[in-house]
């Protein structure tokens, strides 16, 4: 993973983890242990899915930039599919508070996207790769390159 990708990932993950901690505390305050578990589950789900997708997209961008858009689309649809399966499997569960889960997940998603946008704006990333060594200027016919009068031949 390149440095700018790692900075963007940290810029999104750290605020999201802090938001998750706040959501867990609020869940515990309003719904007890079930609210805390809802906050924990939502935070881990958002952090895990968004971090894995950011890593896969960064890895693809390093190896084959032409595949970046198809891979990003595949990662997005996979993430939505996994979320749908998780919601179907745990929809009737009484292990955690569903309201705390929903608000915690929503808060974490919004903070992740905001943190990723801010970190992307701050990172100085080339969108065009510069040449490793500048090309030599071709000499023009009939002209001499900035020679003093005593050095002309």
At 139 the pLDDT is 60
| 96 or 144, which is more confident | 96
Return the closest-CA partner of residue 76 out of 97, 57, 104, 100: 57
Distance CA 131, CA 85 (A): 47
What is the value of pTM for the model shown? 0.75
Q: What percent of the chain has pLDDT over 70?
A: 80
Residue 2's CB: how many other CB atoms inside 10 A? 13
DSSP state of 137: P
Across residues 133-146, what is the average pLDDT? 59
The two structure tokens encoding residue 58: 């960064």
Q: What is the model's pLDDT at position 150?
A: 59
> Do residues 123 and 8 make contact, with C-beta atoms less than 8 angstroms apart?
yes
């Amino acid at each position: 993973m390149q440095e700018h990708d790692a900075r963007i990932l940290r810029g999104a993950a750290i605020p999201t983890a802090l938001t998750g901690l706040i959501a867990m505390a609020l869940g515990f305050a309003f719904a007890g242990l079930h609210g805390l578990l809802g906050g924990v589950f939502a935070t881990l789900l958002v952090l895990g899915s968004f971090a894995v997708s950011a890593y896969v997209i960064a890895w693809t961008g390093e190896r084959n930039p032409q595949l970046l858009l198809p891979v990003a689309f595949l990662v997005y649809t996979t993430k939505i599919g996994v979320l749908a399966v998780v919601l179907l499997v745990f929809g009737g569960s009484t292990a955690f508070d569903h309201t705390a889960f929903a608000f915690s997940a929503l808060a974490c998603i919004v903070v992740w996207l905001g943190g990723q946008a801010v970190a992307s704006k701050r990172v100085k990333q080339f969108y065009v790769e510069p040449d490793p060594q500048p090309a030599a200027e071709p000499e023009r016919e009939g002209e001499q390159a900035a020679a003093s009068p005593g050095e002309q031949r």
